[in-house]
Structure 1
Amino acid sequence: KYFKKDAFLRLNPNIKQDKFLGASQFSDAITDDSRLVMRVLDEAIHDGAHAINYLKAESLITNEQGLVVGATLKDTASKDKDQTYKVHAKVVVSATGAWADTLRMQAREQTEQSFNKQIRPSRGSHLVVSQERLPTSQAYTFLHPADKRAVFVFPWENRTVLGTTDLDHPPLNDEEVGITNEEVDYLLDATNSLFNETDLNRKDIISTWAGVRPLIADSGNGKRVSPSKEKRDHSVWLDNNLVTVSGGKLTTFRLIALDVLKKCQKVLALDDSATQNQAINGDQVFRKVAPIHPKFATLPSDLQQRLQGFYGRKLDTLLELAHEEDLAYVPDSNTIWAEIRFAACFEQVIHLDDLLLRRTRVGLILPHGAMTPLISTRIKQICQQELGWNEQKWQQEVARYSELWQRYYHLPAA
């Protein structure tokens, strides 16, 4: 739907009017990618899969014919840093995102110099500010005044998010990635160019986060385009019984999985039904489960919907585990304490950053990564009860988390 200038500004009075002509409104969806991943894993485990956290694929196992017949896995959470396991399989699927070329190189027995890399790692970074500082009830997409790239400002988890950038990110290693000072300025400049009297600055930033997209490099015309102009399609390769998948977007994860199975069909005797894309509605993507626990009826409707989406068949387990006070919200967030307790108990939490950044999002939406005295005292209590952490272990995890958060989830050093 198109809105002319006056009609749009009546609904959005804080948009700058200089050179403004109008806007188009469209519908889209928003998700929490961490909860989506955990929900998919839970459904898979329910169907017989095994999901093991902090287990790194170090190398491939090949037979005399050069076919991949398994992988050597390293337990990176063990005190014994040399603990490895050899797992054999008829086919190995590598869904390792921006790191996908590494194992492909091994499967094809090529060196880094001779291997034609397919993945172009691209960094995308975001800023998180308070709703009070930049109130938004809907998402905005607009072109950055400097380079005409699309930029977003959108409400998320009781906060406002500014993003994203799109920059080449070589070289890759096993470290996390963080935003740069140039990206901070880029996103602040974009936002301040759109909103009247906002004047956001670094003091307004609660947290940041960055990730690496696995773009599939388009080398067809021999010209290197900007990362923003690379296609977002996924690709699947079969190399000596190693199936590699990379690229794509969250919105097509089912179709990506079906394409992976089609490649596996060339190695395994799979029934055709395993690769057919049957028409389904949204309720059938995940199993829709009606909670029966009496606590569920006491929750407000919006929280009921959130918890059903986030936890599915495990919602009754979450409610059974919850202490009475756990049904309250973590202050200034959309997360209830029961979600933190459930993640600590059931979701393979090894470190504090698993709990606060990759199971729940309180480390991104609360000041100081949720390590303020009131919040951290309650988190400590939950970790001691559900993870068995003593005082020494808690202090070790707080030190580790604080260093990581300052380095990768806050502002970079000036």
Structure 2
Amino acid sequence: METGNKAHDAELAPAHTRRQDLIDRLAEPHQYDIAIIGGGATGLGVALDAAARGFSVVLVESHDFAKGTSSRATKLVHGGVRYLAQGNISLVREALHERTTLLANAPHLAQPLPFVMPSYKFWEAPFYGVGLKMYDALAGKAGLGATEFLSRQETLACLPTVQPQHLKGGVKYWDGQFDDARLALALARTAARQGALLVNYCEASGLIHEDGKLVGLHARDQETGRTFEIRAGCVVNAAGVWVDQFRLQDGQATGRNPKPMVAPSQGVHIVVDRSFLPTDHALLVPKTADGRVLFAVPWLGKTILGTTDTPRHDLAREPLPFKDEVDFILRESARYLSRAPGPADIKSIWVGLRPLVKPPDDDAGSTQALSREHTVLVSKSGLVTVTGGKWTTYRAMAEDVLAKCADAALLSSRPSGATTHLKLVGANSSHHKISETPGIHLYGSEAAAVEGLPGAGRELGGGLTEAMVRFAARHEYARTVEDVLARRSRLLFLDAALARTLAPEVAALLQEENGIDPKLEAFVALCAQYLALPV
């Protein structure tokens, strides 16, 4: 275990993440203060906060960190303009505060981003401008920049390829953007520096109850099949859209039958070349023809188009887009961009499931009306379940979870705020924008450590070097080709065809580093899915 003065964590040498070391620690008999199921934003946030307060922490994730929802966001660190329109002032205020904290703690991975709402009717700019001025007012000192009214020419200067016909002007405001999967990884690695044990590809296979109380969980190493018994005073269920399966297990063990609390919603994103919107400004249409929101966001050298909000009744790890979702994004993009992308221009399609919280007795018809706020429940046996919320508020969610654990006497009460100013691994002042093409700058203060590894001068493609693959295996928990090309680098999300081309070389490097099958064939099949258009 590598620890250090918290004020200087970002300056420490990168800690190793040798699989055997992690498994050996997991096998040791130990009574943990808190055990966490789920390695997405929420679970990782809880692990970091708990470890920073001095609790002993273990977290298990059945797949890779951020494999699910947490790597498939719209890449925005935002207060939630549309939630303001719904009158949810408290959610917006909290998110705006957390936005600033996140940007300060990981400036190499999260930065301010200007948005422009183009206006095609005379009333649109003043109407939306008033709401955005309220947004500024709620942010207060946490604001990233003042809202501005733009002329027609100023709007075209910000959005060179926006549809010019009938354009009246626009409104410019500020939010943030980030690299979600790499931020999740930074949370995991920072928690490890604080003493937490985190193991990916280790499934929580069952809960342990004694005399009606939850006392731990069973875990299974997905690589070897080896099983473990993990004892903990508090068990947190942070499995995202999959939380209900553990609530059901808990209920069955204690003679209850809890109703499902999650209504999954699906969001589809399409990636196209930056030439379709060659700017560092994002385009936002707050209300399309059918009332949905449309984004065109510059990200890592490409443009993300999205997103949809569709009920989903199954819980596939790799959900497929529906044809009408892709049609909607392309159709609405054509209305607002002078050069419209078509199916042949798509570089990658990805789909994420959102864990929206059902109100009591809800039939989960439409997901647009369901709560975007998080919910924390403590069962009779002591299982603490957290779900809902969004990436921007992961830190506040973690504080809420630990407060609920203390209220239920599952953890001792310790002062909150341990993560408010805790810099994440790699944090440094970046001179590069997240909208730029990927490169060594995404490693922040660890760039020199990456460049000190073999293959630093050998680029495989898409900004990925041999040294970055080795760094992923040695210091970033990477086990498979997908881990590297989907989440340590983001090539699967940016250009699935290029990712497929690079996969064999990445597989060979991982085989050399880890000595196990890096699952090349499975990744090649996944690339085909990210390129396939629904019919």
Answer whether TM exceeds 0.5 for this pair: yes
Distance 2:365 2:152 in 1: 35
Asked whether 1:45 is paired with 2:175, we answer: no
Which runs of structure 2 are paired with 1:7-86 in the superposition (5 Å)?
7-64=154-211, 66-78=212-224, 80=225, 83-86=226-229
CA contact (8 A) 2:215 2:233 kept: yes
Task: From the superposition, tell whether residues 312 and 158 of structure 1 become closer, same or farther in structure 2 (CA, over 3 Å).
Answer: closer
CA contact (8 A) 2:480 2:507 kept: no
Q: Output the aligned Cα RMSD.
A: 3.1
Once the two structures are overlaid, the 10-residue window that deviates more, 42-51 or 164-173, is 164-173
Partner residue in 2 for 1:286: 424
CA contact (8 A) 1:70 1:91 kept: yes
Among candidates 500, 519, 525, match of residue 371 of structure 1 = 500
Partner residue in 2 for 1:213: 354
Offset, 1:102: 1.4
Structure 2 counterpart of 1:387, which letter?
N
Which runs of structure 2 are paired with 1:6-405 in the superposition (5 Å)?
6-64=153-211, 66-78=212-224, 80=225, 83-109=226-252, 114-143=257-286, 145-173=288-316, 175-196=317-338, 198-219=339-360, 226-239=366-379, 240-265=381-406, 266-273=408-415, 276-277=416-417, 280=420, 284-286=422-424, 302=432, 310-311=442-443, 314-326=446-458, 330-331=460-461, 333-372=462-501, 375-376=502-503, 378-388=505-515, 393=517, 397-405=519-527
Partner residue in 2 for 1:411: 532
Identity between Structure 1 and Structure 2 (%)? 28
Task: From the superposition, tell whether residues 72 and 269 of structure 1 become closer, same or farther in structure 2 (CA, over 3 Å).
Answer: closer
Distance 2:443 2:153 in 1: 43
Offset, 1:290: 7.3
The SS at the match of 1:321 is coil
Offset, 1:74: 2.0
CA contact (8 A) 1:369 1:405 kept: no
- Show CA shifts across 1:102-138 (max 9, x none): 1112223389995322111111111111113443321
Task: From the superposition, tell whether residues 337 and 365 of structure 1 become closer, same or farther in structure 2 (CA, over 3 Å).
Answer: farther
Structure 1 counterpart of 2:239, which letter?
T
The SS at the match of 2:349 is strand
CA contact (8 A) 2:203 2:220 kept: yes
Partner residue in 2 for 1:297: none
CA contact (8 A) 1:39 1:311 kept: no
Distance 1:354 1:387 in 2: 13
Structure 1 counterpart of 2:342, which letter?
N
Q: TM-score, normalised by structure 2?
A: 0.65
User: With CA pairs under 8 Å and 6+ residues apart, which has the higher RCO, 1 or 2?
Assistant: 2
Offset, 1:383: 2.5
Distance 1:383 1:124 in 2: 31
The SS at the match of 1:302 is coil
- Show CA shifts across 1:122-160 (max 9, x none): 111111111134433211110453312111101111111
CA contact (8 A) 2:272 2:303 kept: yes
The SS at the match of 2:450 is helix
Task: From the superposition, tell whether residues 44 and 278 of structure 1 become closer, same or farther in structure 2 (CA, over 3 Å).
Answer: closer
The SS at the match of 2:412 is coil
Distance 2:493 2:385 in 1: 32
5+ residue gaps in structure 1? 292-299
Task: From the superposition, tell whether residues 231 and 24 of structure 1 become closer, same or farther in structure 2 (CA, over 3 Å).
Answer: farther
Task: From the superposition, tell whether residues 377 and 105 of structure 1 become closer, same or farther in structure 2 (CA, over 3 Å).
Answer: closer
The SS at the match of 2:403 is helix
Offset, 1:228: 2.3
Offset, 1:57: 1.2
Structure 1 counterpart of 2:522, which letter?
R
Q: TM-score, normalised by structure 1?
A: 0.82
Structure 2 counterpart of 1:386, which letter?
E
- Show CA shifts across 1:279-310 (max 9, x none): 945xx44367779xxxxxxxx95399988985
Task: From the superposition, tell whether residues 334 and 157 of structure 1 become closer, same or farther in structure 2 (CA, over 3 Å).
Answer: farther
Distance 2:433 2:419 in 1: 29
Once the two structures are overlaid, the 10-residue window that deviates more, 93-102 or 129-138, is 129-138
CA contact (8 A) 1:245 1:260 kept: yes
Structure 2 counterpart of 1:267, which letter?
A
Offset, 1:369: 4.6
Partner residue in 1 for 2:116: none
Offset, 1:19: 4.6
Offset, 1:313: 6.6
Distance 1:367 1:268 in 2: 45
Task: From the superposition, tell whether residues 48 and 193 of structure 1 become closer, same or farther in structure 2 (CA, over 3 Å).
Answer: same
Once the two structures are overlaid, the 10-residue window that deviates more, 159-168 or 359-368, is 359-368
Distance 1:172 1:151 in 2: 25
Offset, 1:379: 2.6
- Show CA shifts across 1:60-111 (max 9, x none): 11112x1111112122222x4xx43221211101111111111112223389
The SS at the match of 1:268 is coil
Task: From the superposition, tell whether residues 278 and 388 of structure 1 become closer, same or farther in structure 2 (CA, over 3 Å).
Answer: closer
The SS at the match of 1:124 is strand
Once the two structures are overlaid, the 10-residue window that deviates more, 317-326 or 153-162, is 317-326
5+ residue gaps in structure 2? 1-147
Task: From the superposition, tell whether residues 250 and 290 of structure 1 become closer, same or farther in structure 2 (CA, over 3 Å).
Answer: closer
CA contact (8 A) 2:276 2:337 kept: no
CA contact (8 A) 1:90 1:241 kept: no
Distance 1:324 1:317 in 2: 10
